[in-house]
Amino acid sequence: MATTESKRQQRFASVIQQDLADIFQREGSAWAPDTLVTVTRVRVTPDLAIARIYLSLFNAKNKQLTIANIKSHAGEIRYKLGARIKNQARIVPQLEFFIDDTNEYVEHMDKLFEKISKEPRQED
């Protein structure tokens, strides 16, 4: 089932992504100490009620603990977001946070391919 986002969803997701990036840049150390938090992607449900936020956590000692701490502050983060988007949106969506491990996956695959390329070739 291919889901394509409407222009409205994409625009709203973009606004949320920019505002959350700013919030994390300014205040993120409260929820993720010594961690660089990057908002890599935001997906919004068609009714705009739920925003799924994908975060890249750089330098986090324990990513699961860090994301759990961010999730525990979702209400506070949503409130801060609401203060910023109140003129652009009727509702402030529920925020769901996820770790975006795309970079780790890419690095892992690169290492695997590098390892494979160094192995001696076998004749058929």
Q: Establish if 39 belongs to a structural domain.
A: yes
Q: Are 78 and 92 in contact (CB under 8 A)?
A: yes
pLDDT, tens digit (0-9, with 9 covering 90-100), for 37-48: 999 999 999 999
- Kindly report the backbone phi and psi dihedral angles of residue 24, in degrees, each rounded to the nearest multiple of 5, phi listed first: -65, -35
Q: Establish if 1 belongs to a structural domain.
A: no
Q: Establish if 123 belongs to a structural domain.
A: no
CATH number at residue 47: 3.30.300.20
pLDDT band at 121 (very low <50, low <70, confident <90, very high): confident
58 token code pair:
């750089």
Q: Establish if 108 belongs to a structural domain.
A: yes
- The mean of the pLDDT values for the chain is 90
Neighbours of 28 (CB within 10 A): 21
Q: Establish if 2 belongs to a structural domain.
A: no
Q: Tell me the pTM.
A: 0.79
110 token code pair:
């690169």
Give the sheet arrangement for strand 94-99, strand by strand.
Answer: 36-44, 50-58, 94-99
Counting the structural domains of the chain, the total is 1
Q: Establish if 109 belongs to a structural domain.
A: yes
